[in-house]
């Protein structure tokens, strides 16, 4: 898939629903074969008057592929191969910090990676990939998302530490207490290794989160096995979250409009510069990566 598109959106667990229901412009999505396997469904959309790449992280027809089983390397490779150099992602984490409430928009600026066993680098078996992770998320995209939200009349919190857990199970109360002591404010399952893989291919990446529930132990929540999150979100929470999900398309459109007019001037675009200057790699990024044996 080789088209001239520079912006990409990675949609979270409600991505396909929004497409099917018309809240996002309809697009034709299909997996892409890469050296790292098959990607999640990928296609193009019109957002903010611009054509962008759109990837439905969890598949077609709903939440078909759980977070630990997403082929993150294939997804990032496919987006880069299609011409994207900027990625806006969305995720629906829970709140560790009780000052965050369901339905609230948050733009994280830090991350704790608690995943295990996920393929987290393109550079297996090489000496590449010793890259700083500060800032973790692209500040230019984060700023565009904040401006887009405020321009849409939506309140957004800038800055939070997102703890990425392995899943598919939810966390224990003790784990949530541990993450809180470490400074974690949100807990989800998808932003790692996405953000790290994007950095390895010199792509900008930032995320817009909408809080879906309070994490385990943050407030009293009797078990309800028959509903989403098994009782961690009550009916009022779910209604508030639904409204937040419906607002995603508007925020994304405004952010895409802003980024389309903004040149890249952040360190993301030069993350591999040292390796180039040393002669370890050339300009063709496809020659940097090494597919798994």
* DSSP character string of 5-69: --EEEEE-TTHHHHHHTTSS-----B--EETTEEPSPEEEEEETTEEEEEEETT-SSSS-S-GGG
| pLDDT at res. 100 | 96
At residue 16, the pLDDT reads: 67
187 in any annotated domain: yes
pTM for this predicted structure: 0.93
Q: What is the pLDDT of residue 4?
A: 40
CA distance 62 to 58: 7
At residue 146, the pLDDT reads: 97
Q: How confident is the model over 99-108, as pLDDT tens digits?
A: 999 999 999 9
Does residue 138 form part of some domain?
yes
Q: How high is the pLDDT of residue 5?
A: 56
In a domain, residue 132? The reply is yes
Distance CA 173, CA 170 (A): 10
Q: Which pLDDT does position 229 carry in this prediction?
A: 66
**Would you say residue 293 lies in a domain?**
no
Whole-angstrom CA distances from 202 to 23, 102, 111, 189, 196 are: 31, 33, 19, 23, 10
- What CATH number did the domain enclosing 278 receive? 3.40.50.1580
Whether the CB-CB separation of 237 and 102 falls below 8 Å is answered with yes
Structural domain tally of the chain? 1
What's the DSSP call for residue 289?
Answer: -
Angle between helices 191-200 and 72-81 (to 10 degrees): 40
pLDDT value at residue 226: 66
Residues 31 and 42: beta-carbon distance below 8 Å: yes
Task: Using a pLDDT cut of 70, give the percent of the chain over it.
Answer: 93
3-state secondary structure of 74: helix
| CA 176/CA 185 separation, integer angstroms | 10
Backbone angles phi, psi at 208, to 5 degrees: -115, 120
Return the pLDDT at 1: 43
Is residue 79 a part of any domain in this protein? yes
Q: Which domain holds residue 75?
A: 7-287
Ranges of residues in the chain with a pLDDT under 70 are 1-5, 16, 20, 26, 226-233, 292-293
Query: Tell me, what's the pLDDT at 2?
Result: 40
């Amino acid at each position: 898939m080789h088209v001239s598109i520079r912006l990409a959106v990675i949609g979270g667990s409600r991505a396909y629903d929004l497409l099917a229901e018309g809240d996002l412009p309809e697009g034709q999505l299909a997996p892409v074969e890469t050296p790292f396997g098959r990607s999640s469904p990928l296609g193009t959309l019109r957002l903010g008057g611009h054509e962008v790449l759109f990837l439905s992280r969890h598949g077609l027809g709903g939440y078909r592929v759980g977070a630990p089983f997403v082929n993150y390397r294939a997804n990032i490779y496919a987006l880069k191969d299609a011409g994207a150099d900027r990625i806006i992602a969305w995720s629906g984490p829970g709140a560790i910090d009780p000052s965050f409430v369901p339905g609230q928009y948050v733009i994280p600026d830090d991350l704790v990676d608690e995943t295990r066993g996920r393929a987290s680098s393109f550079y297996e078996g090489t000496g590449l990939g010793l890259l700083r992770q500060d800032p973790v998320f692209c500040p230019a995209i984060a700023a565009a998302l904040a401006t887009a939200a405020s321009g849409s009349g939506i309140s957004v919190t800038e800055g939070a530490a997102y703890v990425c857990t392995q899943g598919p199970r939810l966390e224990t109360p003790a784990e949530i207490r541990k993450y809180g002591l470490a400074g974690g404010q949100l807990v989800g399952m998808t932003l790692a290794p996405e953000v790290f893989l994007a950095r390895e291919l010199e792509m900008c990446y930032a995320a817009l989160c909408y809080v879906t529930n309070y994490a385990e132990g943050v407030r009293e929540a009797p078990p309800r096995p028959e509903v989403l999150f098994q009782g961690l979100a009550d009916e009022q929470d779910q209604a508030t979250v639904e409204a937040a999900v419906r607002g995603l398309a508007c925020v994304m459109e405004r952010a895409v409009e802003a980024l389309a007019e903004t040149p890249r001037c952040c360190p993301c675009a030069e993350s591999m510069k040292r390796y180039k200057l040393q002669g370890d790699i050339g300009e063709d990024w496809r020659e940097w990566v090494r597919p798994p044996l």
